Each structure stands twice: as structure tokens, then as C-alpha cells.
Amino acid sequence: MNADTMALHTDKYQINMMYAHWVNGTHNQKAVFDAYFRKLPFGNGYAVFAGVERIVNYIKELHFDEAAVQYLAEQEEQYDPRFLEELRQLRFTGNLHAVKEGTLVFPNEPLIRVEARLFEAQLIETAMLNFMNFQTLIATKASRIRQVVGTDTLLEFGTRRAQEADAAVWGARAAYIGGFDATSNMLAGQQFGIPTKGTHAHAWVQSFHTEEEAFEKFAKALPNQVSLLVDTYDTLKSGVPHAIEVGKDLEKEGKRLQSIRLDSGDIAYLSIRAREMLDAAGLPDVKIVASNDLDENTISDLKAQGARVDIWGVGTQLITAADQPALGGVYKIVALEVNGEYQPTIKISGNPEKVTTPGKKDIFRIIDANRGKAVADYICLSEEEDVRKREQIKLFDPLHPYMYRFVQDYDAQELLTPIFMAGQQVYELPTLDEIREHHKGQLQLFWPEYLRKLNPHQYHVDLSVAAWDMKRKLLEEHMQGKK
């Protein structure tokens, strides 16, 4: 989808709220919104934030073209033509802060903070959540898979199973951020500079009379990139022996067989046997690729069984985030400008976890200065004294405030970075490789207990005393019926 045609990539209720604000004369009133999620996906201990590049492209290009205005003019709501005129002029003029892509993030902390006219802030909710939720989900799944494979190579093979083209291409990018090494999707390769890799399909083998002929012809055509799929007929009786013949022939020409691929059967058993056969044939450098509905659980199980796989091709389970197909990121109003000053606003819920945290806030990652590891994330009001200048901070669990401790010797890293200020982009997008490096650096910041796949420790996201007091005060006012 083209970024310059995306103003209508929003829910109708946003347009209707924009209209009602315009009719009411409140459309220019400024507000602060936070985007965050409440629950980590896949039972993981962290999520990997992604989506900023697409959000930047979207915000930069945000405008209603003639076709969009025309379409809105035809709606049963019968919007006033003067509203449509207002839409023709609309550009993003606000401030937008976001966490950097590749950063480890946790529930209930603002990942994007928008400060803009209600008119604009409301419009962009849907698209931003759409980008953030999907890309963060896939980057998290990818990082989770990376955690179990160690230094093995990871190839993203998901395009054929992705929820359509955009998901395949942006999903490939998210997977690369989360630790994959290459993608099979050529468009993602071209668009983002992700390394691309490919073997061949069963169809190649089936289009020749014999497997030997198919392998020989493939090696002849692509002598520098020979990777042979060995399971079309019988992996150990024909596929691997035929691949070995090709490998030896290539050696005579000073070339080499790069890899063989296993795509069915018992991957542990077959990879161990294939490794023995390749080694015995004097081809110890030939790598073994495995694919077939893999995810972090099968891979970890295969590793426990001693599978001799060097390269993992992962498609469906990654690109569709099959075990949890959506991240529940939300976008909530937290402050509203009244007479030139922000007033905090709260959403009440019977479920304490759904009560919003009011006020314009900043987030800091508190790092133990002696050990260099993250201790907790700390959410404070923007108006508070700079957390980096304090002697100590009190950390307590917002749901159980009687559980607290003081931290003294700490560094505080600010997580929300200015991306747009007064509508102008002030953030230079990092390269994808810089984002990957940033992600790797983030993993170093956390103790392994937070990173493990199963039953990870819960990392704390705490509120400052001032933020907590404000929340309590607003709750109290609500209870006493003042609101």
C-alpha cells in the first residue's frame, strides 16, 4: 500500500469523532495520547518494538487527496462540506515521541506518545496501532526464535503464508530486526536491503526425469549458490547420496556445495544421519538447512535431540505469529489541554489493569550502574524533576504499592525519543543494521532470567510517586462522584 494514499486507512469512528469535534468547535484542542500494550505475547518475558519507520512514512505523507475527500463526501453521514475543506488542509502538526525500533519493551509503558490537536491525534490511532501491533508481534516472535537457536543461521520463509503482501514484506523486516539473518522475499530485500537467500523447491526436482539430473543441472546453473533439497523421494537413500555426488563434482571445479535442505520427516534423525554421510564423504563444510512448520518450540526440541542443523528456515509460524496472532496494543487519551494547560484524564475500569495512567509521561530504563543491567522501567510525569538528577528513586509495584525499594546508584536511559516536533520530522531513521545492533545491545542489558522462552521473570514497569499519586487522586475523585 502506498504511503501517500493512507489517510483513509483509519476506522470510520475516527472520522466521525473528528467531525463531531469540528462541529463542536473542539477539534483544535490539544491532547496527549499513549500507545501501549497490556500483555506480552507468546508468554515471552519482553517484546521487541518495531513499526517506527512505517509510522514515520505514514505521518510524513498524511493528507486527504481529492479522491479521499470525494469518497467522504458520499458517506451517509453527510459531512458538512466545510469539514471536508478542513480535511483538505490537514497535515500532522503535532509532536510524536516513540521508543526506538529494536528496543525491548514491556506492558503498560507508553511506546508512542502523541501530542496533537484532537483532530489529528484521533485520525492516526488506527494506522499507528496497525503498524506497531503487527511489526512488534513479529519482531518479538523472531527474537524468541533467535533465543533458542544461538548462533545458527535463521532464514525467513513466510511470504506464501503471510496475511497478504504488506504483512509479508513488513514482517520480513520485523523478523530481521528480531534476529533473522535473511529473507526469501525479494521485495523486502530490495526495499529494505535485507540479505536474501533461497534454495529450490520439490518442483525443480520433479521437473526432471531423475533427482541426479535435477541436482546436476541446478549446480551447473548456480555454481556459487548450490543448495539442494534432498527429500523429494528418499532423503537418506537417494537425496543425500545424490547431493554428495554433486558436492564432489563441484569440489573438482574448485567450487562447493553450500547446503542441503531437509523439509520433511524426522529432522533430528535425518540431520544426524545426513551429517555423518556428508562428513564421511569429505564434505564437512556442507551445511544442513531444515524447514517444515518450525517454530521456537520445535527448534528447541530438535536441538535437545541433537539435531545437526546449521540453518533454520522458518515461515508460517513466524509470519502469522501462529500461537498468538495479534498484539493487543491500545491508544488512550491521557491529558487534554484546557486554557493552555494539560489536565490529566483517566479511563476507569472494573479491571484495575485497564485503568489508564493519566498525564503526560516519560519513561526511563533504570540501569544498575555497577552491574550494567536493567533494574526496572520507570514511568514519571513529564513535569517532574528530571530522574537523572535525583539522589535516589523509589521503585514500587503500581498494583501492589506496599512492595517497594530504593535505588541509588543508577543510570536512567530515556526511552521516548522525539520523532516529530510541531509536525516536522526531527528523527533521522537509523539503518536496518543499526536497528539490529541496537536490538542485540538491548538483550545484553537484561539478565537471562527475563529473556528465557519458558516462564521468564517478570520485568518491572513502575510508576513514579507523583504519577501514582495523580492516578490515585483521579480515581478518588471518580469514586466520590466528582466526575
Ligand X SMILES: O=P(O)(O)OC[C@H]1O[C@H](OP(=O)(O)OP(=O)(O)O)[C@H](O)[C@@H]1O
Number of helices (H), then strands (E), in the chain: 17, 21
Smallest gap from Cβ 294 to ligand ATP, in A, equals 5
Q: Do the strands 417-421 and 424-425 form a parallel or antiparallel pair, or are they unpaired?
A: antiparallel
| End-to-end CA gap in the chain | 43
Distance CA 152, CA 155 (A): 10
Pick from 29, 126, 238, 292 the residue near ligand X by CB under 6 A. Answer: 292
Distance CA 171, CA 292 (A): 19
Distance CA 421, CA 373 (A): 32
C-alpha cell at 140: 518479538
**Binding at 143: pick from ligand NIO, ligand ATP, ligand X, none (beta carbon under 5-8 Å per type):** none
Does position 196 interact with ligand X (CB under 6 A)? The reply is: no
Distance CA 307, CA 271 (A): 6
- At 96 the three-state DSSP class reads strand
Contact (CB, 8 A) for 21 and 101 = no
**Binding at 50: pick from ligand ATP, ligand NIO, ligand X, none (beta carbon under 5-8 Å per type):** none
Edge-to-edge strands, sheet with 374-381: 410-414, 361-368, 374-381, 461-463
Site string for ligand NIO, 155-184 (x = CB under 6 A): --x--------------------------x
**Binding at 266: pick from ligand X, ligand ATP, ligand NIO, none (beta carbon under 5-8 Å per type):** ligand ATP
**Binding at 316: pick from ligand NIO, ligand ATP, ligand X, none (beta carbon under 5-8 Å per type):** ligand X
* φ, ψ (nearest 5 deg) of residue 12: -60, -35
Pick from 257, 314, 327, 451 the residue near ligand X by CB under 6 A. Answer: 314
Smallest gap from Cβ 236 to ligand ATP, in A, equals 14
Smallest gap from Cβ 266 to ligand ATP, in A, equals 5
Site string for ligand NIO, 181-220 (x = CB under 6 A): ---x-------------xx---------------------
C-alpha cell at 290: 531444515
Distances (CA, A) of 195 to 171, 181, 183, 316, 388: 14, 7, 6, 19, 40
Does position 263 interact with ligand X (CB under 6 A)? The reply is: yes
Question: Residues interacting with ligand ATP, by CB under 6 A?
Answer: 264-268, 292-294, 298, 301-302, 305
Q: Which residues contact 443 (CB under 8 A, 6 or more apart)?
A: 104, 143, 451
The alpha carbon dihedral of 317, 318, 323, 325 has a sign of negative
**Binding at 302: pick from ligand NIO, ligand ATP, ligand X, none (beta carbon under 5-8 Å per type):** ligand ATP
Name the amino acid, one letter, at 240: V
Pick from 239, 315, 344, 358 the residue near ligand X by CB under 6 A. Answer: 315
Q: Which is nearer to ligand NIO, 126 or 292 (CB)?
A: 292
Site string for ligand NIO, 301-330 (x = CB under 6 A): ------------x-x---------------
Q: Dump the DSSP string for 350-385.
A: SSGGGS---S-EEEEEEEETTT--EEEEEEEETTSP
**Binding at 360: pick from ligand NIO, ligand X, ligand ATP, none (beta carbon under 5-8 Å per type):** none
Q: Which is nearer to ligand X, 218 or 331 (CB)?
A: 218
Pick from 291, 345, 442, 464 the residue near ligand X by CB under 6 A. Answer: 291
Q: Do the strands 374-381 and 461-463 form a parallel or antiparallel pair, or are they unpaired?
A: parallel
Distance CA 446, CA 421 (A): 31
Contact (CB, 8 A) for 180 and 439 = no
Does position 94 interact with ligand NIO (CB under 6 A)? The reply is: no
Smallest gap from Cβ 165 to ligand NIO, in A, equals 15
C-alpha cell at 138: 513479529
Smallest gap from Cβ 234 to ligand X, in A, equals 16
**Binding at 161: pick from ligand X, ligand NIO, ligand ATP, none (beta carbon under 5-8 Å per type):** ligand X
Does position 156 interact with ligand X (CB under 6 A)? The reply is: no
Does position 239 interact with ligand X (CB under 6 A)? The reply is: no
Pick from 291, 317, 320, 356 the residue near ligand NIO by CB under 6 A. Answer: 291
**Which residues bind to ligand X, rule: CB under 6 A?**
157, 160-161, 263, 291-294, 313-317
**Which residues bind to ligand NIO, rule: CB under 6 A?**
157, 184, 198-199, 261, 291, 313, 315
